[in-house]
Structure formats: C-alpha cells, structure tokens
Amino acid sequence: MSRARVARRIAAGAAFGGGGIGVLGAAAVGLLLAEVQLAKRSVGGDSSRPPGADGLYGRAVADVHAPVRLALLGDSTAAGQGVRRAGQTPGALIAQGLAAVAERPVALRNVALPGAQSDDLDRQVSLLLAHPSSVPDVCVIMIGANDVTHRIAPTTSVRHLSAAVRRLRTAGAEVVVGTCPDLGSVEQVYQPLRWLARRVSRQLAAAQTIGVVEQGGRTVSLGDLLGPEFTANPRELFGPDNYHPSAEGYATAAMAILPTVCAALALWPEEERPDALRDEGFLPVARAAAAAAAEGGTEVTAAMPTGPRGPWALLKRRRRRRIETPEQESVRGTAGAAGAGAGAAGAA
C-alpha cells in the first residue's frame, strides 16, 4: 500500500474515531523489542532542563512596533533539549529570524515539554489560550517522535494534533507544524529497527500533514532532521546524547521552518504560486503529504477544499535563509571589525 493511501487511512481514522493501523506481524515483535533495548543503551540519557528562551527578540524596534507573538508547542525538540544556551534553541532562532524579516520585535513563549506526546498538546494549547488578549499570532508545533517510540496508535496521535490545530486556528492564530522527524536517521539505531522507525515515522508525518492541512494549518517536513546535510553529517547534527539535535541541528531545523512561519504571516517575499523548477505544485493532499514526508524541509498548505480525489494542497520547497546564533553574529562582527581595523592601519 502506498504511503499516500496509508496516510489517508490514518487521517480518516483519526477524524472518525477509528483504531490504529498495524505495521508489523507478531513474529517480528520479539526481535524488534530486543533492538529497542539495544538502542536505548546507545541513545538518550539527557535529563537536563532545556534553557529558557522566552522573551523579546529584536529589541531595536521595540518602541516602534507592537511585537509579533510567537509560541512553540510540542516535545523536547521544540523545547530545545540538548543545547546549553537559550539562543541555540529552535524557538529563539525562529524568533530572531522572524524579527529580522518582519522588522518588528517578536515575543516568544515556549510551552513545549520534553517527553511530551501528542495528547499533551491539549494542555499546552490551554496554557496559551488562557488569556484571550495574548493569543499568539503564530504557533509552531514540533511533535511525534515520542508517539512513535511509545507505540501510540497513529490515529490517536493525529486526532490530538488536529484538535490542537483546530483550537489555535479558531482562536485566530496561524499554525505551522514540524511533522514527525525520521527516527531511522538516528545513528545508533540498527536494522531492522532502523527500517521500521523510518517507515513508521514517515507514515505518521504524512498523516499529520493531512490532519493539519484539513484544519487550516501548514506543515514543514522535518524528515531526516531537515535535509540531506543531516544524513551526511550525523555526528555534527546530533547532540551529546546521540538523540537530540545539536546547536547546528536546531539551526538547520529553524532555517527550514522560518520561511513557512513568515509566509503564514504574509511576510515572505516569495509568491505563493508554485515554481515548477523546484518541483512545486498542486496535488491531492494525501499525495502532497507523502511527497513531503520523503523530503525534509517541504511545506504543505491547503489549496482547494475539493477536487476529483478529495482536498488539494500546495506543495512548496521554499528557499532557506541562514539563521545565525547570537554567538555566531558576535564572532562575525568581531572579525569584521578586525578586518576594518587592519584596513585602516594599512591605509595609514
């Protein structure tokens, strides 16, 4: 069965209360459980609290414009588990990039919880909507990995995510979801668990996309943690626990999500029409979801409510912009000043 058909079945089950869809025969369970225990010895183990990054970004224009309200929800990836500095977390990086593009300050609030599964989104959304006067302008959700590792039924996962997106959209917030990452790209996960993790992760990501788009949100595929550079450089893009991203990995994620966040707020300079040179186009939502799940950094958004094969969506591959951490900006600024000083000395 194609990934598009599986994703559509999962999304339909989520919408109408169906059960989970099995992906394994019982004969394989014992072997896979042994592989899981082996993988647990090699990955994880980082129990430190993610650095707090809430606050105002782009203070230079704080007195001129009201801030854009940005919220992050989800699991440890959204929270920034695995890095030590607030400026290295995905929330801070996206806020910093959004402030630069919008030329307005950005007020960040992160309610993501390490270890969270999709059923925790209801609590997180309630925190954000507790005060109607402070409803976010845009929300970024990163969720799904813990649902896979805890063997949560994909229909259940998608049902909780769709409900969260619906509540946020009803409140007036734009929503961008970074779909389930490809757990088959974790270096310390071996075959056949690697194959299974990749298959289940991508099926869930595709089903998440259908559920989110049908509720009026946008998705960005995290895939193998957002691009072929992760597969090529896993030791650079994983953190010390071999599971959560490093600072460079989070920067890669933020670069992929930022254009879609800006587009949701009508701030991105690219047109919404598809670019055939980048294989963009209008597709039935299930086909768009399956295509996005196979390629990190791909955006899917609603296009037409009905079509010959159900709702249609626009598949986009937006150009990324490099996001620098405050430390990188400081280094670049110091280098520039040193170069200018050397040039002045030479002129003297």
106-110 and 312-316 as β-strands: parallel, antiparallel, unpaired? unpaired
Residue 161 in 3-state DSSP? helix
Distance CA 115, CA 95 (A): 23
Length of the chain: 348
Domain layout of the chain by residue ranges: 3-18+29-347
Is 150 tagged catalytic? no
Distance CA 178, CA 198 (A): 16
Q: How many CA atoms lie within 13 A of 288 on its CB side?
A: 33
Place domain 3-18+29-347 in its CATH homologous superfamily.
Answer: SGNH hydrolase (3.40.50.1110)
Helix and strand numbers, DSSP H then E, in the chain: 13, 9
Distance CA 164, CA 47 (A): 27
Is 118 tagged catalytic? no
Residue 216 phi, psi (nearest 5): 90, 10
Catalytic position from the list 75, 76, 162, 185? 76
Q: pLDDT tens for the chain, 348 residues: list them.
A: 566 766 666 666 666 555 444 444 444 444 444 454 444 444 445 556 888 999 999 876 656 678 999 999 999 889 998 888 999 999 999 999 999 999 999 999 999 999 899 999 999 999 999 988 889 999 999 999 888 878 888 899 999 999 999 999 999 999 999 999 887 665 555 566 666 777 888 899 999 999 999 999 999 998 765 444 445 555 544 444 455 677 788 888 899 999 999 999 999 887 778 888 888 999 999 999 999 988 888 999 998 766 556 689 999 988 766 655 445 444 444 444 434 444 443 443
Residue 249 phi, psi (nearest 5): -65, -40
pLDDT the model gives residue 224: 66
pLDDT the model gives residue 167: 97
Nearest to 57 by CA among 82, 81, 24, 86: 86
CB atoms within 10 A of CB 48: 11
> Taking the model in full, what pTM does it have?
0.80
Query: Cβ contacts of residue 297 below 8 Å, gap of 6+?
Result: 220, 221, 223, 226, 227, 256, 317, 318, 320
Q: How many CA atoms lie within 13 A of 276 on its CB side?
A: 0
CB atoms within 10 A of CB 114: 20
Catalytic position from the list 118, 147, 244, 246? 244
Helix (H) or strand (E) holding 126: helix 121-128
Which residues, in sequence order, are bridge partners of residue 141? 73, 177
**Tokens 């990039």 sit at which residue?**
97
Distance CA 217, CA 176 (A): 6
Catalytic position from the list 54, 119, 241, 275? 241
Is 244 tagged catalytic? yes
